[in-house]
Structure 1
Amino acid sequence: MPLNDRQIKNAKPAAKPYKLADGKGMFLQVTPAGGKLWRLKYRINGKEKLLSIGKYPTVSLSEAREAAENARRMIAAGQDPSAAKQQAKQERQAALLNTFEAITRRWHSENLHRWKPDNAVRILNHLEKDVFPYIGGQQIDGIAVADVKAVIERIAARNAPATAEKIRQWIAAVYGYAAMLEITDRNPAAPLRGFLAKAETRHLPALPREELTEFFRRLLLADIDPQNRIAVLLIMLVFVRSTELRGSRWEEIDYAAKTWTIPAERMKLPRAHVIPLADWPLELLAELQTTTGGSPYLFPSRTKTTGFISEATLNRIIERLGYKGTATPHGFRSLASSILNEQGFNPDAIERQLAHVPKDKIRAAYNRAEYWPHRAEFMQWYSDYLRERYNAARALIDAGGHV
């Protein structure tokens, strides 16, 4: 007699496994632990085999019968249902491994030798934040150009077109890697080359020099970490790029020689950039070392055990001071350049201090002078110029005044 739900529910475990037959080779196996497993016994090519259908009650009696009937049809057609089930399982596992995220992580791990550790972490962080949540779970062969376009448009909308293009390039590289593995011949990132028009060259907001004393007054009164306050002062004093300051390491500072040497690989230039350090920057560095000297970085991250402060840190501080749209970390380079040029210092020396690459390649080839005496002179002058306004801000605070 065929089974019914009442019989199945009332079946109790015994010391040894036993079977409750439903007919046509299908039965319910009851285990000593109380498990109830659907099985189908069949023969194919002269061999007796057993097909696992599922576990009761996850697979109901009617569902088990339907699965058994489908298996019988396959057997009648000369197909082995157990082999088909195993193949389907393997295909599901392969599909899971071929998601964009899975392939991307393989690509990333196999390319670690190409990147510096900090850069490798940054790349993966970008992918985890901006890509995986949107297309990471999709099969790599099923992602369309529109999917990738939506990803990079979302990033560009944050006013980060350079990051968006970089991510498009990484996605394209992942597809190149997948092609090498013979997983796909498609590359939906390739047609989007040039889709994000290069951001129109524009000068980032620079703090007006008339605002320097008020800026320092607000900075002194701001409720921020002392090391972040020093970071703002240093980027004003040595006017390096934000990434060069944030990634600075203590090994780059030479107090005896009064220099800070940024390696070529951090400058993305064929040579290192050596900065003459004036008195005030040296004092700030000595103060900072009492706080962060235990880290390899001048400005270590508070949230990551290895790494330095984020790109947004200095921008947020400046915005909190009330200078959003008026000043930026990069704008301090323009401010320094304007003031130093107006004071009559050597323009070529100023350009060298800014680590600008001359557009005139012939001039660049022959004009290799480091202008060290000129640079040391104006860096000390500029340090004194800023300290004078900083001291004026302190005096205002002491007097309870306002600019």
Structure 2
Amino acid sequence: MALTDIAVRNAKSRDKLYRLFDERGMYLEVSTTGGKWWRLKYRFGGKEKRLSLGVYPDVSLKDARDHRDDPRKLLAKGIDPSIERKVQKAATVERAANSFEAVAREWYARQAPGWAPSHAEKIMGRLEKDVFPWLGGRAIAEIKAPEVLTVLRRVEARGALDTAHRVHQNCGQVFRYAVATGRAERDVSADLRGALPPARHTHFPSVTEPAEVAGLLRALDGFQGTFVVQCALRLAPLLFVRPGELRTAQWTQFDLDKAQWRYTVSKTKTEHLVPLATQTVVILRDLHALTGQRKYVFPGRDVKKPMSGAAINAALRRMGFDTKEEITGHGFRAMARTILHEHLRFPSEVIEHQLAHRVPDALGTAYNRTKFIDDRIAMMQQWADYLDKLKAGANTNPV
């Protein structure tokens, strides 16, 4: 007789495993501990075989019967349900290993060690936010160009056109890696060239007129926030390094007696030397009394970590500056580059080396941390003196 829900529910454990049979080869197997498993008994190629249909009560009597019918249909076609299940399981495992997300994370793991941490974080953040939710589980070889375009349009629709272009670029890198590793035939993202409107790249806002710089410097000196952030604000125009390099500066990189700061440039992975003006050393010595026992020169709320990447711009906004139109933490670099060349008349190659830009020379050297070092030492001191004069209201005409 066919089983009933009541009979299945009331089946108790016994001293030995036993079975309650249903129709068409299905039965319930009850263990000595009370566990209940649905099984299907069938014959294939003259051999008796069994197939699991699930565990009760997760799989009800009705669901178990539904699960039974599919294998029986395969038997009618001359297919062994056990073999078919193994094939499907293997296909599922292979599909998961070759999904867009799996390939993307593998590509990322290989590339990220050569990137700056902030750059690596941005790339994975874009993939996790804008791509994985929609394409992550798809087999990368099956993804078509229109599907990628839908993802890009979704990013564009929220007003992040530049991000959409970057997502397009990252998807292309993943697809090309999949091609190289034999998991895709081609980079379908290449078909989307021109599908997005061109992004308008804008420079970081900056203050480059000496009279305006004077007001900015006085505002920085008058900042009412924490001493750590105030020091970072005062040092930003004096050092004009990248904001991420300033906020992650470590005390072990500084030799205040020699007035030097040595660190590895985040973009070029090259060593860089920053000569420190006397004004800079004074600020750093004051700050050393507070944070000198810490790893970072500018520790954050968690003193084991550096100051937040948003701290400088947040402080500028608190002082009333528009970080979209007037000045940002990165804008101090443009300010120094412009005034050092146009007003203090320093050669552009000296300035570019101090900015840690790649400046190929006649010998093909892309970057040399000590190139023009004497000129750079003089420039950094003259720059600090010039900023002091601006704050004091001195004549701002070109030297």
TM-score by length of 2: 0.79
Instruction: For 1:227, give the aligned amino acid.
Output: V
Aligned to 1:32: 32
DSSP-derived class of the 1:107 partner: helix
In 2: Cα distance, 1:188 partner to 1:300 partner: 45
In 2: Cα distance, 1:289 partner to 1:2 partner: 83
Contact 2:204 2:327 in 1 (8 A): no
In 1: Cα distance, 2:286 partner to 2:193 partner: 47
* Deviation for aligned residue 1:344: 4.3
DSSP-derived class of the 2:19 partner: strand
Instruction: For 1:320, give the aligned amino acid.
Output: R
* Deviation for aligned residue 1:20: 1.4
* Deviation for aligned residue 1:282: 0.9
In 2: Cα distance, 1:105 partner to 1:352 partner: 36
CA gap 1:3/1:272 in 2 versus in 1, 3 angstroms? closer
Contact 2:207 2:335 in 1 (8 A): yes
Unaligned stretches of 5+ in structure 2? 394-399
Q: 1:142-177, CA deviations, whole angstroms, 9 ceiling, x for partnerless residues?
A: 44434444555628967683x655554433232233
Aligned to 1:399: none
Instruction: For 2:229, give the aligned amino acid.
Output: N
**Of 343-352 and 180-189, the range deviating more from structure 2:** 343-352
Instruction: For 1:316, give the aligned amino acid.
Output: A
In 2: Cα distance, 1:158 partner to 1:284 partner: 41
In 2: Cα distance, 1:114 partner to 1:287 partner: 35
Aligned to 1:226: 227
DSSP-derived class of the 2:176 partner: helix
Matches within 5 A, 1:9-158: 9-111=9-111, 114-115=114-115, 120=120, 123-149=123-149, 151=151, 154=155
Contact 2:165 2:199 in 1 (8 A): no
In 2: Cα distance, 1:246 partner to 1:179 partner: 39
Instruction: For 2:39, give the aligned amino acid.
Output: R
Matches within 5 A, 1:140-289: 140-149=140-149, 151=151, 154=155, 161=162, 165-192=165-192, 197=198, 199-200=200-201, 202=203, 204-206=205-207, 208-212=209-213, 214-216=215-217, 218-220=219-221, 222=223, 224-263=225-264, 265-266=265-266, 268=268, 272-289=271-288
Aligned to 1:3: 3
CA gap 1:143/1:36 in 2 versus in 1, 3 angstroms? same
Count of paired positions: 385
In 2: Cα distance, 1:210 partner to 1:156 partner: 41
**Of 295-304 and 373-382, the range deviating more from structure 2:** 295-304
In 2: Cα distance, 1:152 partner to 1:322 partner: 35
In 2: Cα distance, 1:156 partner to 1:253 partner: 46
Contact 2:25 2:41 in 1 (8 A): yes
In 2: Cα distance, 1:335 partner to 1:113 partner: 32
RMSD: 3.8
* Deviation for aligned residue 1:190: 2.9
CA gap 1:52/1:243 in 2 versus in 1, 3 angstroms? same
CA gap 1:158/1:252 in 2 versus in 1, 3 angstroms? farther
CA gap 1:150/1:63 in 2 versus in 1, 3 angstroms? closer
Instruction: For 1:274, give the aligned amino acid.
Output: L
**Of 368-377 and 271-280, the range deviating more from structure 2:** 368-377
DSSP-derived class of the 2:288 partner: helix
In 2: Cα distance, 1:172 partner to 1:132 partner: 14
Contact 1:156 1:164 in 2 (8 A): no
* Deviation for aligned residue 1:216: 4.5
DSSP-derived class of the 1:189 partner: helix
Unaligned stretches of 5+ in structure 1? 393-403
In 1: Cα distance, 2:114 partner to 2:336 partner: 36
In 2: Cα distance, 1:340 partner to 1:110 partner: 41
In 1: Cα distance, 2:58 partner to 2:204 partner: 65
**Of 1-10 and 142-151, the range deviating more from structure 2:** 142-151
Aligned to 1:316: 314
In 1: Cα distance, 2:338 partner to 2:111 partner: 43
Instruction: For 2:287, give the aligned amino acid.
Output: L
Contact 1:244 1:267 in 2 (8 A): no
Contact 2:294 2:304 in 1 (8 A): no
* Deviation for aligned residue 1:386: 2.9
Q: 1:342-390, CA deviations, whole angstroms, 9 ceiling, x for partnerless residues?
A: 544333444544445569x66998xx99554444334223323434566
**Of 169-178 and 343-352, the range deviating more from structure 2:** 343-352
Q: 1:169-189, CA deviations, whole angstroms, 9 ceiling, x for partnerless residues?
A: 433232233234432224233
Contact 1:267 1:273 in 2 (8 A): no
TM-score by length of 1: 0.78
Aligned to 1:379: 380
Aligned to 1:335: 335
CA gap 1:221/1:135 in 2 versus in 1, 3 angstroms? farther
Contact 2:204 2:330 in 1 (8 A): no
Instruction: For 2:5, give the aligned amino acid.
Output: D
